[in-house]
Structure 1
Amino acid sequence: MKISEVTIQDLKEFAHEYSEDPEVDRVFTNNLIACKSYIKGYTGLTDEQMDSKEDLTIVLFILSNELYDNRTFTVQNDKMNPVIKSILDMHSVNLL
């Protein structure tokens, strides 16, 4: 399956979320957009290049599931969630 073919229904099934609640759909819609953007930003690939690498699709599923399972921002043992840290680091313009 190509990344461009993934739907929110696919992500919901992977997460074992079978609710038809519009709020849940909104969360998965946001996850889909955010995860595609994360993969694109991390790899530097274009949409077409991402589609040619079908192994990236599982990354999309796992990232979305991680975001859904951990919807709260927490810091444990002085360690920030690595996904959050990575996203923030990618967009940081004030590095010393």
Structure 2
Amino acid sequence: MKVSEVTIKELMEYAREYNTEDPEVIKTFTTILAACKTYIKGYTGLDDKAMDMKEDLTVALMVLSNELYDNRTFTVENDKVNIVIKSILDMHSINLL
């Protein structure tokens, strides 16, 4: 599955959120999907077309969206980045300094 093919419904299912008719939940996942795509683009330096050629980025998108949904409160337990997301994004990063 390509990053551009991921739907809000699929993100909800991945996050085990079954209240799919609630407008607030839909709004939250709409925001999360946009934020995840922007984060991946910024982290890797890839554009939409290039992201679609790397299907493993879809996993990073799903995991990242779940993290954002599960951790909606403003608390920080540690400063560590999810190792799965970091590994996948690092493999495709073209904007290394």
Q: Would you say same fold, with TM above 0.5? A: yes
Q: CA deviation at 1:81?
A: 6.6
Identical-residue share of aligned pairs (%): 65
> Match for residue 73 of structure 2?
72
Q: Is the 8 A contact 1:3 1:54 kept in 2?
A: yes
Unpaired runs of at least 5, structure 2:
83-97
Tell me the TM-score normalized by structure 1: 0.79
Aligned length: 81
Q: Is the 8 A contact 1:50 1:56 kept in 2?
A: yes
Q: Is the 8 A contact 1:8 1:28 kept in 2?
A: yes
Unpaired runs of at least 5, structure 1:
84-96
- How many Å separate the matches in 2 of 1:32 and 1:57? 11
Q: CA deviation at 1:73?
A: 1.4
Larger Rg: 1
The C-alpha deviation readout for 1:30-73, integer Å capped at 9, x for no partner, is 00000000000000001000000000000000000000000011
> Match for residue 93 of structure 2?
none
- How many Å separate the matches in 1 of 2:8 and 2:76? 28
Aligned-partner residue type, residue 7 of structure 1: T
> Match for residue 26 of structure 2?
25
Distance 1:29 1:81, change over 3 A: farther
Could you say what the CA RMSD is over the residues aligned between the two structures, in angstroms?
1.4
Tell me the TM-score normalized by structure 2: 0.78
